[in-house]
Structure 1
């Protein structure tokens, strides 16, 4: 056997059985090894941004890492934007990046680059196999780091490490270190703050937004009169029957208004909320300057256990009552007439199936969806986490593979969708059950809003050329069909409802181009 075989065997024994790939010459021995391992599912992406974004979506739903296979430094560089999103989501991903044979590097061949330098900003762990004999150690370390550190690991595999011979070994799963204990002082301070009578907010992120931790947070909030908010996270359990968690708004003015009255904030998984950007004359943080911030737990902790410890410290039992979201989906009025972000969000929400996975890269076109979400069928919400657009279609692709028995509904802005529309081809090839709704407003509408946010209220021809997408207009139905995905275009809400409800009844990928005002 060779080093590439060893890499595959280590991955499989640790439960990593999906590899999203866009390989090149230096990875051919690994491709051959994958071909010898039928237990490994190999998924081809036509761009590295699809590969890395799909690995993120898969891990968010499967709660374990996938591998990626990327071609040298340029291949990794093509995937970095969505690795940035995965890093911000604290998603476990194990990148395998091929490199030239170690003895070839001295010749500075055209594809030679500083792979470590490219990888480090987006990775929690970076390692290089020193040879075939080192592949097992390097793979095990990278896998363990992706779980323990909750993030991206990047393993560099020189070609001679892949083709070099190794002896077979008896393999076993890697032991993952237990999460660190909470700081006693932080727990005591959190309990005291919530007992103090001050206006308190509990800020959740990461795995604290799973169903059981949310229930615990709801019990605490009901007992002490606290509010519960969330910052942008990989995956959130939403819908009827669950405790209410309000997202901190994206717009800085709305975020400041929502948080203005709080005197103490308990952060669990989350940190102090900040604005996405700096704006002239506006603060960078959205809590009041006088608000005390207590960091109870970070991503590396067991966040469910942290909430339970907080409840225990307050004397709140596991059977304590909390306010459950009421089911209001059937009460949503059937929208009529023009397609707008509001009418679209009403239509999507009214027919959302139970246990759906909602991908959210609708950006400015989200309409009323976030306000409606608490009353809908229970579902999981997967948003863009790091602000690097172009993750929606890949995220939906990976989520559908990570949870194959669940319907994926992807709300996708048109401008950001063009970054990685190649993911539609992968959806068609893998026959994934994804309904993609493209909010086609023919503009980078979010950037138009940001122009206003920095004080530019009118602009001319050059600015419009950089913010509009209407010359020529994108034809999403033709693009989808060219990539193997059936599609339909809606210009009225009635046309949209017909296409949407039909797509929900069928299996396989379908794209709806919703032309909105």
Structure 2
């Protein structure tokens, strides 16, 4: 009816379960409101047949226009949208001036029940929902780019997989294509800890031994907890670790710019680069008992993913960017 235009449902926690997302989709279809997730959330149901929502962008300059039209934000286990860091001459609060915030549920409360009540109050049902337009899944060819990497991963995700995301700068565009992938759960860091993904994948694989776990991590982050590979081998866990090797702490290079520190000098650049010598993640993995291979183009990446997701036990793929 358009009653909800200018209103955002900002959801995390249990609201991002398959059932919670389905209820939010009905409410959005009925009222015209928008549904988003915060930049970071612990777990989200994703893939074909599940309601795909955007997340607030990490970069302030991108987040502000995403939220500019809203006059009301309804918090469902979420908090006010804020920037991750405080930057000179940039706002920390991301909501627009004059936007009212209303809390529906706090963290850990029964958000699914609250969404059911809201759906009932606005008389929303499944018949109000129109199918979402999803990106076509086509295996990419040619060079490794952020787009081709995302498309290759979307094509390769097996049914009921657990995706562990610490892909940082490489993975910021992963959401649109993976919305069309096989149904899966997406796990992500809630804070600024570096190297969380490989230990988390171990917990996920032990908890769900019948599900394939796919970990996506940058080369800088991977080095913080590289010993996780040894545990994967020791316990023969069904984990595919994808290391995006761009040979730089790109996330930190971006933050260097964001704080207005100017152009980094030689010493600062040395602290941000991962070379001299170049890390060999296939050799590191082999030394800890995990078979691995390096890929340099989309075709090789497709083949490596297809093999890794069907083989039992741990595997590593180094994506040389």
TM tier relative to shorter chain = over 0.9
User: 2:72 & 2:242 partners in 1: Cα distance?
Assistant: 40
Query: Does the aligned pair in 1 maintain the 2:151–2:178 contact within 8 Å?
Result: no
Give how far 1:342 is off. Answer: 2.4
* Structure index of larger Rg: 1
What does 1:483-498 align with in structure 2 at a 5 Å threshold? 483-498=288-303
User: 2:150 & 2:96 partners in 1: Cα distance?
Assistant: 32
Alignment counterpart, residue 265 of structure 1, candidates 69, 73, 76 = 73
**Residue 462 and residue 434 in structure 1: after superposition, are their counterparts in 2 closer, same or farther (change >3 A)?**
same
User: 1:377 & 1:369 partners in 2: Cα distance?
Assistant: 14
Which residue number corresponds to residue 59 of structure 1? Answer: none
Which residue number corresponds to residue 299 of structure 1? Answer: 107
Which residue number corresponds to residue 87 of structure 2? Answer: 279
Query: Does the aligned pair in 2 maintain the 1:440–1:515 contact within 8 Å?
Result: yes
Q: Deviations over 1:243-283 (max 9, x none)?
A: 23211111111111111100101110111111101111111
Structure 2: 5+ residue runs without aligned partners? none
**Residue 367 and residue 208 in structure 1: after superposition, are their counterparts in 2 closer, same or farther (change >3 A)?**
closer
Query: Does the aligned pair in 2 maintain the 1:336–1:343 contact within 8 Å?
Result: yes
What does 1:15-164 align with in structure 2 at a 5 Å threshold? none
1:223 and 2:30 matched: yes
Give how far 1:327 is off. Answer: 5.5
Which residue number corresponds to residue 252 of structure 1? Answer: 60
Q: Deviations over 1:488-517 (max 9, x none)?
A: 11122222222111111211100011110x
User: 2:315 & 2:251 partners in 1: Cα distance?
Assistant: 25
Alignment counterpart, residue 6 of structure 2, candidates 199, 212, 217 = 199
Count of paired positions = 320
User: 1:435 & 1:481 partners in 2: Cα distance?
Assistant: 14
Give how far 1:316 is off. Answer: 2.8
Structure 1: 5+ residue runs without aligned partners? 1-193
SS of corresponding position for 1:294? strand
Give how far 1:483 is off. Answer: 1.0
Alignment counterpart, residue 229 of structure 2, candidates 396, 415, 424 = 424
Query: Does the aligned pair in 2 maintain the 1:415–1:469 contact within 8 Å?
Result: yes
- Using structure 2 for the length normalisation, give the TM-score: 0.95
Moved over 6 A (4+): none
Q: Deviations over 1:460-479 (max 9, x none)?
A: 11111111111221111111
- Which stretch of structure 1 is more off in the superposition, 479-488 or 370-379? 370-379
Query: Does the aligned pair in 2 maintain the 1:344–1:367 contact within 8 Å?
Result: no
RMSD (Å), alpha carbons: 1.7
Query: Does the aligned pair in 2 maintain the 1:485–1:511 contact within 8 Å?
Result: yes
Task: Give the structure with the higher percent helix.
Answer: 1
User: 2:88 & 2:164 partners in 1: Cα distance?
Assistant: 32
Query: Does the aligned pair in 1 maintain the 2:5–2:33 contact within 8 Å?
Result: no
**Residue 214 and residue 197 in structure 1: after superposition, are their counterparts in 2 closer, same or farther (change >3 A)?**
closer
- Using structure 1 for the length normalisation, give the TM-score: 0.60
- Which stretch of structure 1 is more off in the superposition, 353-362 or 454-463? 454-463
User: 1:502 & 1:418 partners in 2: Cα distance?
Assistant: 25
The higher relative CO (CA closer than 8 Å, separation ≥ 6) is in 2
Query: Does the aligned pair in 1 maintain the 2:76–2:103 contact within 8 Å?
Result: yes
Give how far 1:457 is off. Answer: 4.5
Q: Deviations over 1:191-239 (max 9, x none)?
A: xxx9955511100011110000111111111110000000121110011
**Residue 196 and residue 369 in structure 1: after superposition, are their counterparts in 2 closer, same or farther (change >3 A)?**
closer
User: 1:338 & 1:447 partners in 2: Cα distance?
Assistant: 25
**Residue 254 and residue 327 in structure 1: after superposition, are their counterparts in 2 closer, same or farther (change >3 A)?**
closer
Query: Does the aligned pair in 2 maintain the 1:260–1:287 contact within 8 Å?
Result: yes
Query: Does the aligned pair in 2 maintain the 1:239–1:325 contact within 8 Å?
Result: no
Which residue number corresponds to residue 241 of structure 2? Answer: 436
Which residue number corresponds to residue 139 of structure 2? Answer: 334
Give how far 1:324 is off. Answer: 3.9
1:210 and 2:14 matched: no
**Residue 351 and residue 300 in structure 1: after superposition, are their counterparts in 2 closer, same or farther (change >3 A)?**
closer
